[in-house]
Amino acid sequence: MSDLGVMAGDRRELGADDAIAVIRKVAWRLMPLIMICYLFAFFDRINISFAKFQLQSDLGLSDTAYGLGASLFVIGYVLFEVPSNLFLYKVGARRWIARIMISWGLATAAMVFVSNEWQFYGLRFVIGAMEAGFAPGVLYYLTLWFPNAYRGRITSMLFLASAFSGLVGAPLAGLVIGHMDGVLGMPGWHWLFLLGGLPCIVLGLLVLKLLKDRIEDAGWLSPAEKTLLSQQIAQQSRPPQTGHSLAGALRTPGFLVLCLVYFLIQVASYGLNFWAPHLIHVAGTKNPTVVGLLTAVPYVCGAIAMVVVGRLSDASGERRKFVFGLLLMSALGFFAAGYFDKQTTLLVVALAVMGAGVVASIPAFWALPPKLLSGAGAAGGIALINTLGQLGGIVSPVMVGRVKDLTGSTTPALYVIGAMSLLCALIVLYGLPESLRRRETAR
């Protein structure tokens, strides 16, 4: 949360000390809880990767079957993503985000009852369906509370939680797998999902109690602060002509290109999240705790890159060029990880570069869609971008798992993901419409 203090220095963007104080007040009030919720959302991605070896052994799963189970989570997520966000727009973000947290926490904890391959498939699908709408719902929620000039930093702060899920979650997952296996007669991977799911129920209840749907409902803001914040958001918004509804979003130039870009980013993201522990293990590190610590390295680098890029992109307004540079780093990291797959030190360096590019590119990307969409178009359109992007989470685990089963190595798959990241970078640089290529400036 240290980046909040930087806001006090950006007086030119809002033009008044009192306006900056209100933005800072809102950020401190909303972001800690939202970031903790987002942290637990990404624990699941970390936990399933660390559960891989014990889970495969207990259930008799091949790498392809494991990849299919990981992908079924995404299928459930994709099928229910847009309907979930449209419901969120109708009933209010607070109630719907709380529902998501509670239902997916229960489904995640229920992984302790899985005893065969088909139960694994079914419950992973249910967990994805229950979580559907969370990330785009939160992104839409933030557009209601923060002016454009602060979206880069605020979005970076949100996704900083995903980086910390790797930084904190990976070592903790290694400790749980290594030291809680057999406690109370349960395997370590059962404990992993139980400890990842139950806190989400409590967080859902806190969301219901503490968050508000609109600026007007915030009892912790004075009437003057509410008016000032609403004015700042309105002044810095440039409502698009066609992006006010989901149908309008689909007709907006550049919208489908953004969907493709996010799909390719997610192919890389899931490649990192699901297979980083496996790559480190295969390179020669067998101790689960050490694997966890090394797996945290790309997320540390991603967190640093995220904060730096968030501030620089807000200051320069060059959103597109920063996304391009980060995707180039992602491509370089995947190519290097494939080349150094048997050398642990160089592999971890490659994963660090990969993490900086992949992890930081996601919040940098999410500063682009609000420039095209508003209202119901923003709620449904952001959900649709995320939905189509999440299809990358189907492609990546299955592809890497299948390549591993066929060739005995993940290296060819890493090269393919690297090439897809490079293609994505070129699309961002040359394929976006003029409305997304313009430098963004605050009023």
Task: Return the CATH number at 166.
Answer: 1.20.1250.20
In a domain, 2, yes or no: no
Give residue 12's pLDDT band: very low, low, confident or very high (50, 70, 90): very low
How many domains in the chain? 1
d(CA 123, CA 103): 12
- Is 138's pLDDT higher than 80? yes
Task: For residue range 403-417, list pLDDT tens digits in order.
Answer: 777 777 778 888 989
In a domain, 248, yes or no: yes
Worst-scoring range by mean pLDDT, 17-26, 101-110, 158-167, 405-414? 158-167
In a domain, 279, yes or no: yes
User: What is the chain's mean pLDDT, rounded?
Assistant: 79
Provide the 8-state DSSP code for 368. Answer: S
In a domain, 226, yes or no: no
**Max CA separation in the chain (angstroms):** 65
Read off the pTM. Answer: 0.66
CB-side neighbour CA atoms (13 Å) of 387: 21
In a domain, 421, yes or no: yes
Among 272, 277, 279, smallest CA distance to 289 is for: 277
Q: Which amino acid is at 373?
A: L
In a domain, 3, yes or no: no
In a domain, 98, yes or no: yes
d(CA 54, CA 187): 8
d(CA 398, CA 66): 8
CB distance 362 to 158 below 8 Å: no
Place of tokens 């900056």: 20
Q: What is the pLDDT of residue 251?
A: 67
Give the range with max mean pLDDT: 140-149, 343-352, 383-392: 343-352
| Residue 311: CB atoms within 10 Å | 17
Q: Which domain holds residue 38?
A: 11-220+232-437
In a domain, 442, yes or no: no
- Is 23's pLDDT higher than 80? yes
